[in-house]
């Protein structure tokens, strides 16, 4: 049995999130490993991995905000909305001004409705959307509400396509809610500007409280494998509620307690001796257990 805890991995380009999970299973010596939020193979950066009991945290961690550094290429559209797909259309980006770019970015900031990329893992009638696209189907996905809390442009560079079309590469940082597709932001930015657009680079630098400074490469983990203890991980991710031995006993036995008034969302409950007991949420003034961590 492996240790209970969280591993913050700096995922390299070219690997799927599932491949990273497989690597961690070998290093941890357990099959009970999962990840909290997929990264595409071309993307790098923070991938939160749960080991043993910490896998129960993942569904709740995936609901947190995320931050990305990305490069958007204006002037080309692709079938996948990123650099891994075939170019489907080109249009010169030479006439795009900084003022027009900033205005388009502003329109994609805040609470917006976003149509996910067609090559996403969203299921359509029981089949993954990307599978339908690969099979030659024309997929139409419904728009979904997402929040882009920040969308900042850092640099704009001129580039030229193989056919001579003038392109612009735009380096951005995006802070957003879970479920936001950065590829779709690139596509929609290009559509707004009349040039088309796609993603050429993507690096996730933060998931909730976990940032790239905490992340370790697979090579580093292979040399010295360790997890962030489950209690510490929960303390960093959620509001903390310390309870007495009697309250802990009642919670473990499924008895609802008076809510501590810490607001909406999961709350990490700790008993005596800093023992992590459960994640709870407040409902009608009482606690409801979301996940227990006492065997």
The helix, strand and coil proportions of the chain, stated in percent and rounded to the nearest 5, come to 25, 40, 35
pLDDT of residue 63: 66
pLDDT of residue 52: 94
pLDDT of residue 133: 60
pLDDT of residue 69: 98
pLDDT of residue 119: 64
Tokens of 241: 């509620």
Q: Do residues 183 and 38 make contact, with C-beta atoms less than 8 angstroms apart?
A: no
pLDDT in tens, 58-89: 888 766 789 999 999 999 999 889 998 889 99
Nearest to 23 by CA among 40, 11, 13, 6: 11
Catalytic residue among 10, 40, 81, 188: 40
pLDDT of residue 118: 72
Rounded CA-CA distance 282/267 in Å is 8
pLDDT of residue 40: 87
Considering just the CA atoms, what is the radius of gyration of the chain in Å?
A: 22
Q: Do residues 188 and 70 make contact, with C-beta atoms less than 8 angstroms apart?
A: no
Rounded CA-CA distance 91/102 in Å is 19
Rounded CA-CA distance 181/190 in Å is 14
Rounded CA-CA distance 286/250 in Å is 13
102 catalytic, yes or no?
no
pLDDT tens, the chain, 295 aa long: 668 999 999 999 999 999 999 999 999 999 999 998 888 899 999 999 999 999 999 888 766 789 999 999 999 999 889 998 889 999 999 999 999 999 999 999 999 999 887 766 666 556 665 565 655 666 677 889 999 999 999 999 999 999 999 999 999 999 999 889 999 999 999 999 999 999 999 999 999 889 999 999 999 999 999 999 999 999 988 999 999 999 999 988 888 888 888 888 899 999 999 999 999 999 888 899 998 898 6
pLDDT of residue 68: 98
pLDDT of residue 209: 87
pLDDT of residue 122: 65
pLDDT of residue 102: 98
How does strand 110-114 pair with strand 33-35? unpaired
> pTM of the full predicted structure?
0.88
Rounded CA-CA distance 78/84 in Å is 8
The backbone torsions φ and ψ at residue 261, rounded to the nearest 5 degrees and listed phi first, read: 75, 40
């Amino acid at each position: 049995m492996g240790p209970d805890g969280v591993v913050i991995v700096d995922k390299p380009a070219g690997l799927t999130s599932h491949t990273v999970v497989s690597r961690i299973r070998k290093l941890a010596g357990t099959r009970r490993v999962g990840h909290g939020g997929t990264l595409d193979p071309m993307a790098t950066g923070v991938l939160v991995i749960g080991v043993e009991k910490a896998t129960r945290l993942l569904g709740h961690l995936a609901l947190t905000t995320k931050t990305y550094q990305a490069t958007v290429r204006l002037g080309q559209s692709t079938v996948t909305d990123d650099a891994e797909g075939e170019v489907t259309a080109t249009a010169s980006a030479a006439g795009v001004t900084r003022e027009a770019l900033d205005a388009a970015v502003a329109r994609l900031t805040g609470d917006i409705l976003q149509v996910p990329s067609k090559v996403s893992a969203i299921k359509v009638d029981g089949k993954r959307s990307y599978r339908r696209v690969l099979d030659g189907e024309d997929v139409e996905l419904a728009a979904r509400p997402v929040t882009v809390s920040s969308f900042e442009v850092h640099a704009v560079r001129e580039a030229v396509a193989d056919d001579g079309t003038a392109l612009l590469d735009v380096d951005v940082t995006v802070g957003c809610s879970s479920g936001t597709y950065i590829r779709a932001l690139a596509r929609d930015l290009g559509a707004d500007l009349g040039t088309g657009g796609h993603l050429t680079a993507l690096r996730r630098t933060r998931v909730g409280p976990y940032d790239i400074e905490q992340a370790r490469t697979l090579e580093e983990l292979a040399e010295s494998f360790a997890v962030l203890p489950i209690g510490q991980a929960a303390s960093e991710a959620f509001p903390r509620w310390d309870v007495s031995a009697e309250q802990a006993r009642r919670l473990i036995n499924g008895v609802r307690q008076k809510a501590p008034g810490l607001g909406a969302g999961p709350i990490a409950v700790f008993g005596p001796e800093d023992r992590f007991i459960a994640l709870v949420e407040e409902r009608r003034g009482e606690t409801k257990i979301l996940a227990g961590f006492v065997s």
